[in-house]
Amino acid sequence: MKRVVLVTGATSGIGEAMVLEWASRGAQVVAVGRRKDRLEALEARLGRETCLGVEADVCVDGSMEKAVAAALEKFGQLDVVVANAGFSVSGNITSLSIDDFHRQFDTNVYGVIRTAKAAVPALTATKGSLAIVGSVMGYVSMPGSGAYAASKYAVRAIAEALYGELAPKGIRVTHVAPGFVESEIRERKNDGTLVPGSDPVPAFLVMKREVAAKQIARAVDAGEREVIVTLHGKVAASIARHAPELVHLAFKAGASKLRHRKDA
């Protein structure tokens, strides 16, 4: 019997790439997202016997239970669930509104919790895997990224707790921490507006989403506790863990140079 993999945030970026990657590995995939046209495009590309598109919002209570029910009705089981849906709010903490923080946490944190709670019964039945997509920003909080980083620190804590809590049920948990990967996330304003071509990260630092998806699928299939994606991500996380003072010195130096340029 084929494995069944459910991915949230499946209509772009890493999420879409993971749907395609697991399908290429012979799995049946459940693509969950809010954009119906993109879900239909995935179904058409992969075929309805391989891919089921489910329109759902991780911010809405009960939505993920309906998505899981649709997956079970179509394919009969769930072997892997990837809690991937997320977005980024940027800006200095004191300049952001409380609503900005609510929206950031509702998607990135509560969305993961809603997904996990909805998926656990089905994953218990198959002794399956739960992958939780955080970020390298769950290790390093940069100026201007406090809201996003805080949500990803929380996601890392949730993944670590679930690793122990779900082990007795036979469910393996993998925390996924991508660095800069090809995605729309950095091209969206805080209100969700997409500005194509506005990614501030140099192209040479950005990993192709297909490459990232292969690394993630491999780690989840192997039952790894964590996978940090991209070389710069591994370096940043290692420095944050073992020499955090270097991170703070770098940020101070950067802030000092910025002030100097403004004063000049």
| Residues involved in catalysis | 148
C-beta separation of 155 from 109 below 8 A: yes
- Please check whether residue 81 is in contact with residue 6, taking contact to mean a CB–CB distance below 8 angstroms: yes
Q: CA 54 to CA 51: how far, in whole Å?
A: 10
What is the DSSP secondary-structure string of 26-80? T-EEEEEES-HHHHHHHHHHH-TTTEEEEE--TTSTTHHHHHHHHHHHHHS--SE
Distance (Å, whole) CA 27 – CA 48 = 13
Reading across the β-sheet that carries 129-133, which strands appear in turn?
A: 51-55, 28-33, 4-8, 80-83, 129-133, 172-178, 226-229
Closest of 253, 216, 245, 252 to residue 233, by C-alpha: 216
CB-based contacts of 123: which residues, under 8 Å, 6+ apart? 78, 79, 81, 129, 130, 166, 169, 171
In this structure, the dihedral spanned by the alpha carbons of residues 222, 224, 229 and 231, taken in order and rounded to 10 degrees, is -100
d(C-alpha 21, C-alpha 7), whole Å: 11
Q: Which two tokens stand for residue 43?
A: 């179904």
